[in-house]
């Protein structure tokens, strides 16, 4: 049975920390994903993946946080300012460490460049400030090392939501010809997605996350974050000038 932080009594939480000081924090977004997918896709995926990770590892599951930065520019996309996200991340990681967690997984369903980089940097700050703490921040499928899996409203996000909430998918609303500006699709055609593919990818990623939780040390985590920063360096060099908020607008203008 998954132990949920919000439903825990102090004695139960303290006992779990003594056995397994692992906390799992799902992070979502309310963001435009076209007419075919729900605004809360990122949160639904992060939450379900985190639930399954908690089932497999015995980690304590935190409530989903719905506070992203740099959502796709659209009147229905919601976001907070970068400085707000930084404060929430720092305070959440510090608070969980104070509560007894010694390994923290931050599972973000929101894949935006600036949002992810801020999460990586917060993880590194926390580990520097609180020796002995391990923080692994990533998207669910990031550990599979296939850039195509990190699409937006395309085949792979559609496959994941089909696996967990097929009732929220409306592929029939898609036009024959797709474009990012009209349909939010960045990646392969979402009509290629299947629930079976989503479940397979979830299972593969869960095994990788469990391996990280069981065996990753500080050097492993440092390599993980360096690879992530390297992956986004071209975006940073081309678009980041004054802020992440300005960067995503400049990037989106090219789509």
CATH of the domain at 123: 3.40.50.10310
**Pairing state between β 22-27 and 103-108:** parallel
* Residue-wise pLDDT tens digits, 154-182: 999 999 999 999 999 999 999 999 999 99
Q: Could you list the pLDDT tens digit for every one of the 255 residues in the chain? A: 899 999 999 999 999 999 999 999 999 999 999 999 999 999 999 999 999 999 999 999 999 999 999 999 999 999 999 999 999 999 999 999 999 999 999 999 999 999 999 999 999 999 999 999 999 999 999 999 999 999 999 999 999 999 999 999 999 999 999 999 999 999 999 999 999 999 999 999 999 999 999 998 989 999 999 999 999 999 999 999 999 999 999 999 999
d(CA 213, CA 137): 11
SS3 213: helix
Q: Strands across the sheet with 22-27, in order?
A: 3-4, 60-61, 22-27, 103-108, 134-138
Does pTM surpass 0.85?
Answer: yes
Who contacts 146 (Cβ-Cβ below 8 Å, separation ≥6)?
none
Query: In degrees, to the nearest 5, what angle opens at C-alpha 222 toward C-alphas 63 and 141?
Result: 50
For helices 244-252 and 218-239, angle between their N-to-C axes, nearest 10 degrees: 60
Structure tokens at 122: 């917060």
Q: What percent of the chain has pLDDT over 70?
A: 100
d(CA 170, CA 183): 12
Count of other CB atoms within 10 angstroms of residue 5:
17
Which domain covers residue 76, as residue numbers?
A: 3-252
Task: Report the number of distinct structural domains present in the chain.
Answer: 1
d(CA 206, CA 209): 5
């Amino acid at each position: 049975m998954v132990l949920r932080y919000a439903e825990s009594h102090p004695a139960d939480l303290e006992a779990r920390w003594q056995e397994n000081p692992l906390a799992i924090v799902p992070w979502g977004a309310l963001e435009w994903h076209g007419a075919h997918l729900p605004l809360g896709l990122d949160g639904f995926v992060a939450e379900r993946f985190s639930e399954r990770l908690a089932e497999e590892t015995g980690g304590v599951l935190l409530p989903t946080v719905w506070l992203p930065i740099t959502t796709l520019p659209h009147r229905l996309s919601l976001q907070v300012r970068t400085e707000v996200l930084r404060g929430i991340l720092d305070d959440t990681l510090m608070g969980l460490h104070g509560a007894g967690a010694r390994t923290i997984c931050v599972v973000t369903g929101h894949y935006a460049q600036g949002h992810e980089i801020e999460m990586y940097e917060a993880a590194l700050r926390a580990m520097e400030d609180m020796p002995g703490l391990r923080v692994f921040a990533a998207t669910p499928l990031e550990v599979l090392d296939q850039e195509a899996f990190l699409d937006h409203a395309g085949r792979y996000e559609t496959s994941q939501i089909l696996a967990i909430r097929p009732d929220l998918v409306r592929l029939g609303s898609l036009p024959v010809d797709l474009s990012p500006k009209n349909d939010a699709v960045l990646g392969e055609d979402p009509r290629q997605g299947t629930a079976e593919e989503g479940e397979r990818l979830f299972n593969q990623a869960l095994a990788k996350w469990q391996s990280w939780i069981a065996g990753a040390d500080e050097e492993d985590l440092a390599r993980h974050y360096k690879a992530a920063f390297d992956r986004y360096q071209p975006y940073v060099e081309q678009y980041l000038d004054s802020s992440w908020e300005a960067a995503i607008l400049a990037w989106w203008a090219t789509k």
